[in-house]
Chain A
């Protein structure tokens, strides 16, 4: 009897597969982040560019919850305003990536034939291209740098990855009996793609989307850190961490808060993506 129970523990029956409280904490934190970024103008925050020379490099206090930086700017308000850059790049780039990659991937897997062979060959070559270096290259030549250009470049670079994941996900569904049944009943291609295939690949798409946003936000952070994202004094998490390096010894808070904000944001995204993947029993897809 005990042997039987032990064996079952490895399989985790459906009723026991729950998302868990940590999942909802992460969802709550992300919602808070998004709301704060959207409502920056309504929230009672100090102007993130306002320099108050009476309080320079001050630690956390009631007036400045996160303290102030070397120019007397409020760190809390800079962290909140900085999140807008990360969120804009993360969501914007993924809208472009999924907007192009997802329909192409679904269509290729559904139609097969010459279209599929051609698209897959092109995407294969693009995938072999080291995306991060290509992004840095294009960003550095396509002057002057703006946030929109950054979003476009990263978005286009992600198309081939999205295509690959969505295509293989659709392929596994497109051969199922219910799709054949729909075809036999005379459903239009459009109806099959939107009503039969799309709902079935949605879980994979969503968990891949979340991990994609996390990857793009990390990339933007690294680019901002190298001075290739938005220009100072506009705050972003990456450039705040970079600027804080010179005064790190006197004021460690300056490094800690934006780093913490970025890490928590990424941790929540990764965790939600990971939980969703095991909840819907999706096999490992990597970015």
Chain B
């Protein structure tokens, strides 16, 4: 177990290193002198000097990476020359919203997918299973941005609920009721996409598990249907579910970007899209770095959880 975790940690460090190199190199994809593009042509020499110092632009490229990474490790992601605020503080203000969105949507998705998949798996090809499978297959083909446009069309226009916008957003810690009311629509949208995925994975895995001999054994002992489902079938099947959820996180974040952009929720996604629109490159770079490392860390966490549920994995 310890050996497994250590081996995964070494890979993790390698991947984070590759991500940092990739994020660093983004600045050099810009056409021409990065300083001119980032600051604009009419930049003051003082600003240019600050940026050169931050990015180490007058040094060779390998040295530039070390200048940059030392700054990043000290929590200094640079200062946006457009909003004049530090990138790190902007990210610190925005990321709790993404976390909240992910947690809420995942809770909803699991709450929907687990009981329905169990219901479906109990009688494969029965009426309920057919309806649920066909429905989930159709939902699979609808991108989240269309779901949210339709939901906005129905909810905000027909019911007369107005879109609040980023400036009037209330954080969870200030007033949780107002916050949850504004998070309901985006969470539900994100949850539908995850729900479809989890339902399909869990259903097919449960059907396979329910044909195993230990299930027949449990049945012949006279255990109740509910106990067999939760204690004997769900635990082995939840490995596949956890694996899917871990892989899904990256897509979930990207889906969250679209939802935030549409509904004006000032999370990392909204900040990223508006930073791209205003050519605020340092902010874009900072968000890309933080989000990528975050996704990799969450994946690592899910791997760890999976190996706890199914100890065989760590023994391969």
Give chain A's interface residues, CB within 8 Å of chain B. 124-125, 128-134, 136-138, 140-143, 214, 218, 221-222, 225-228, 238, 241, 245, 248-249, 252, 255, 259, 262-263, 266-267, 269-271, 274, 284, 286
Q: List 29 A-B contacts (CB under 8 A).
A: A124-B11, A125-B18, A128-B15, A129-B292, A130-B295, A133-B291, A133-B295, A136-B276, A136-B288, A137-B26, A137-B288, A141-B26, A141-B281, A222-B144, A222-B145, A222-B254, A222-B258, A226-B257, A226-B258, A226-B261, A241-B146, A241-B149, A245-B152, A248-B153, A249-B157, A259-B146, A262-B146, A271-B137, A274-B137
Contacts of A138 in B (CB 8 A): 26, 29
Contacts of A128 in B (CB 8 A): 11, 15, 296, 299
Contacts of B244 in A (CB 8 A): 286
Contacts of B11 in A (CB 8 A): 124-125, 128
- Given contacts A132-B250, A133-B295, whether A266 and B257 have CB atoms under 8 Å apart is no
Query: Are the C-beta atoms of B250 and A137 separated by less than 8 Å?
Result: no
Query: Are the C-beta atoms of B272 and A259 separated by less than 8 Å?
Result: no
Contacts of A133 in B (CB 8 A): 250, 253-254, 288, 291-292, 295
Nearest chain A residue, comparing its CB with the CB of B250? A130
Q: Give B22-52 as 1s and 0s: 1 = Cβ < 8 Å from A's Cβ atoms.
A: 1100110111000000000000000000000
A221 to B147, CA, bound (A): 13
Query: Are the C-beta atoms of B254 and A228 separated by less than 8 Å?
Result: no
Min CB distance A96 to B, Å, is 18
Q: Tell yes or no: B173 within 8 A of A by CB.
A: no
Nearest chain B residue, comparing its CB with the CB of A221? B143
Query: Are the C-beta atoms of A270 and B140 separated by less than 8 Å?
Result: yes
Contacts of B250 in A (CB 8 A): 130-133
Nearest chain B residue, comparing its CB with the CB of A124? B11
Query: Are the C-beta atoms of A263 and B292 separated by less than 8 Å?
Result: no
Min CB distance B28 to A, Å, is 9
The 6 A-B pairs at the shortest CB distance, nearest first, are namely A130-B250, A267-B141, A132-B254, A266-B141, A130-B295, A137-B288
Question: Could you tell me which residues of chain B, from 263 to 304, have a CB within 8 Å of some CB in chain A?
Answer: 272-273, 276-277, 281, 284-285, 288, 291-292, 295-296, 299
Contacts of B272 in A (CB 8 A): 136
Contacts of B144 in A (CB 8 A): 222
A262 to B250, CA, bound (A): 23
Q: Which one of A124, A141, A227, A241 contacts B145 once the chains associate, using CB atoms below 8 Å?
A: A241
Contacts of B167 in A (CB 8 A): none
Query: Are the C-beta atoms of B146 and A132 separated by less than 8 Å?
Result: no
Min CB distance B144 to A, Å, is 8
Query: Are the C-beta atoms of A270 and B137 separated by less than 8 Å?
Result: yes
Query: Are the C-beta atoms of B141 and A134 separated by less than 8 Å?
Result: no
A165 to B145, CA, bound (A): 28
A141 to B281, CA, bound (A): 8
Q: Which one of B140, B273, B285 contacts A226 once the chains associate, using CB atoms below 8 Å?
A: B273
Contacts of B145 in A (CB 8 A): 221-222, 225, 238, 241
- Given contacts A128-B15, A130-B292, whether A228 and B141 have CB atoms under 8 Å apart is no
A124 to B258, CA, bound (A): 28
Query: Are the C-beta atoms of A263 and B137 separated by less than 8 Å?
Result: no
A209 to B296, CA, bound (A): 26
A132 to B269, CA, bound (A): 12
Query: Are the C-beta atoms of B143 and A262 separated by less than 8 Å?
Result: yes
- Given contacts A226-B273, A259-B150, whether A136 and B254 have CB atoms under 8 Å apart is yes
Nearest chain A residue, comparing its CB with the CB of B254? A132
Task: Count chain B CB atoms within 10 A of each CB in A128, A266, A286 and give the residue with the most.
Answer: A128
